[in-house]
């Protein structure tokens, strides 16, 4: 029987957290060193405590070196060191649990939440970071917020917000061999544009989504913000529940309501978008937004706007150049988009018997110390090192280049991260966003390759 008042997953989570109209309760607040010093200072000046330290968790990720430095006082860059020291002091003063440099649980904030099992279905989660949408892969409503909102959540555990509009992106058909979650989301952003989901919470659905691992789902939700979306989410299923089982933050018994947490069949979305998953190829970005993207079998397009002309100049690419002829200087495997153990396994599988091309510098930055330890238990570090990759320690690293991991001006990078903006990975650096598999194969070939034809 049809429900009288069918609801979306967003409706259900929103209603369960509405303290009052326009004010929602936050179940988990994740904190890192870059967007919080001014927020803690605001609390200090106003004499306010952190309302719920037990709903708050901090880590150091954006700024930390990945060279194995494991004590904050030894961070060589003074400004970075001070910022992480300030985080340590703030967490101590306000009673917030912290996994700082040196902790076995330190890592990228969007990697450690799911890893610890504290990212759970039906929750509201915020963090002063736009990639907070990652946690939506577990059927949570997860937003990126600014520093003023960080201060607000620290002080009140609530967020002032009107309910965003809802959007469903449904994938039809089965992705072909060699097509990854990263390719699906890059193709989606290419289709709808970088502001295609502005003002909306996106629910991803369809058999291609259901078939993804939790890591693949995190990759999809992570890049929702690159399409302008406020948050991305995927209804929980058996996959979600088995990920959570036995993790330190997860309940001993999985609540039965997690299984039924999904949009009602007749629920209406403010917008719907269909993506033909069977038509998606391995993708490579050519420009300076994630929406400037083509299949690896394609060529750099003719510019359609001043914006695209500028992007081509910055990227030093001529229209018509086949993507597979673009030669690379650097390869970066890492970031909150693609640095989990499944990503590293997939990349390592491409490397058997291969060496990184002469003249290419390639690095792997595991998303967390736990990912690093697990990868080392599986011998993945040896596979990468044998191939000539630099095996690093956990952090955001070259995704945004706040630590010493930056590309030089003019260098061309194949990167598994989420943003190819001008200067993002280093002033004048040219970034191409790809999947971990593509990044690994490109490191070997020294250029982009169609990974569907790759042999190890």
Partner 1 sequence: MKAVGVIAGKVSVIDRDDIDTDQIIPKQFLKRIERTGFGEFLFYDWAREPGWGLAKNPILVAGRNFGCGSSREHAVWALEDYGFEAILAPSFADIFRTNCTKVGLLPVALDETHCRAVAQAGEAEIDLENQEVRWPGATARFEIDADLRHRLLNGLDDVALTLSREEAILAYERERERPGPVTTAL
Contact residue for partner 1 among 249, 298, 301, 342 (CB under 8 A): 249
Within 133-178, where are the H helices?
147-156
> How many C-beta atoms lie closer than 10 Å to residue 78's C-beta?
8
Contact residue for partner 1 among 199, 319, 322, 379 (CB under 8 A): 199
| Residue 430 · residue 328 · CB < 8 Å | no
Q: CA 450, CA 437: separation in Å to the nearest integer?
A: 10
**Rounded to the nearest whole angstrom, what is the least distance from the CB of residue 38 to partner 1 in the complex?**
5
String of contacts with partner 1 for each residue 428-447, x by CB under 8 A: --------------------
List the interface residues with partner 1, window 84-103 (CB under 8 A): 86, 95, 97
Q: 298: exposed, middle or buried (C-beta count within 10 Å: 0-12, 13-18, 19+)? A: middle
For 107, half-sphere exposure in the C-beta direction (CA atoms, 13 angstrom radius) is 25
Helices (H) and strands (E) in the chain, counts: 14, 19
Question: What residues contact 89, with CB distance under 8 A and at least 6 apart?
Answer: none
Q: Considering only 36-44, 174-182, 274-282, 367-375, which stretch makes contact with partner 1 by CB under 8 A?
A: 36-44
Nearer Cβ to partner 1 (164/366)? 164
Contact residue for partner 1 among 270, 390, 422, 450 (CB under 8 A): 422
- Dihedrals phi, psi of 361, to nearest 5 degrees: -100, 125
- Give yes or no for residue 49 binding partner 1 (CB under 8 A): no
- Give yes or no for residue 35 binding partner 1 (CB under 8 A): yes
- Give yes or no for residue 16 binding partner 1 (CB under 8 A): yes
- Give yes or no for residue 402 binding partner 1 (CB under 8 A): yes
Contact residue for partner 1 among 48, 271, 345, 349 (CB under 8 A): 48
Q: CA 259, CA 118: separation in Å to the nearest integer?
A: 17
Q: Considering only 111-119, 174-182, 204-212, 382-390, which stretch makes contact with partner 1 by CB under 8 A?
A: 111-119
Q: CA 298, CA 40: separation in Å to the nearest integer?
A: 49
Contact residue for partner 1 among 32, 424, 430, 432 (CB under 8 A): 424
- Give yes or no for residue 82 binding partner 1 (CB under 8 A): yes
String of contacts with partner 1 for each residue 265-304, x by CB under 8 A: ------------------------x---------------
With H, G, I as helix, E, B as strand and everything else as coil, classify residue 348: helix
């Amino acid at each position: 029987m049809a429900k009288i008042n069918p609801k979306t997953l967003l409706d259900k989570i929103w209603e369960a957290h509405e303290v009052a109209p326009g004010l929602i309760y936050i179940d988990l607040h994740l904190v890192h060193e870059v967007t919080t010093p001014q927020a803690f200072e605001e609390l200090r000046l106003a004499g306010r405590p952190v309302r719920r330290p037990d709903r708050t968790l901090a880590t150091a990720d954006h700024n930390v070196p990945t060279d194995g430095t494991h004590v904050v006082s030894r961070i060589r860059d003074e400004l970075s060191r001070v910022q992480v020291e300030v985080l340590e002091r703030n967490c101590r003063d306000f009673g917030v649990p912290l996994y700082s440099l040196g902790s076995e649980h330190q890592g990228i904030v969007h990697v450690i939440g799911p890893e610890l099992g504290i990212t759970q279905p039906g929750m509201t989660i915020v963090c002063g970071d736009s990639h907070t949408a990652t946690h939506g892969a577990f059927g949570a409503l997860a937003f990126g917020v600014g520093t003023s909102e960080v201060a607000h959540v620290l002080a009140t555990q609530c967020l002032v917000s009107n309910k965003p509009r809802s959007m469903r992106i449904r994938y039809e058909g089965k992705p072909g061999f060699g097509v990854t979650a990263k390719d699906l989301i890059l193709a989606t952003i290419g289709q709808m544009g970088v502001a295609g989901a502005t003002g909306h919470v996106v629910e991803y659905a369809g058999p291609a989504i259901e078939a993804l691992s939790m890591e693949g789902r995190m990759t999809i939700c992570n890049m929702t913000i690159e399409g302008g979306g406020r948050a991305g989410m995927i209804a929980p299923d058996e996959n979600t529940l088995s990920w959570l089982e036995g993790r330190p933050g997860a309940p001993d018994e999985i609540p039965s309501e997690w299984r039924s947490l999904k949009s009602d069949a007749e629920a209406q979305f403010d917008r719907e978008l269909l993506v033909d998953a069977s038509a998606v190829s391995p993708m490579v970005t050519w420009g300076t937004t994630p929406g400037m993207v083509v299949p690896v079998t394609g060529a750099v397009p003719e510019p359609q706007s001043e914006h695209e002309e500028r992007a081509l100049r910055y990227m030093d690419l001529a229209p018509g150049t086949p993507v597979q002829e673009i030669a690379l200087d650097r390869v970066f495997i890492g970031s909150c988009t693609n640095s989990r153990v499944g990503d590293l396994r997939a990349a390592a599988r491409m490397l058997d018997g291969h060496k990184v091309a002469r003249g290419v510098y390639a690095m792997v930055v595991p998303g967390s110390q736990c990912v690093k330890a697990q990868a080392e238990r599986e011998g993945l570090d040896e596979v990468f090192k044998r191939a000539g990759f630099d095996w690093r320690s956990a952090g955001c690293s070259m995704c945004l280049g706040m630590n010493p991991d930056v590309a030089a001006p003019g260098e061309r990078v194949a990167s598994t991260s989420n943003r190819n903006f001008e200067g993002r990975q280093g002033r004048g650096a040219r970034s191409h966003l790809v999947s971990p598999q593509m990044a690994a194969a490109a490191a070997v070939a020294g250029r982009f390759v169609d990974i569907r034809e790759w042999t190890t």
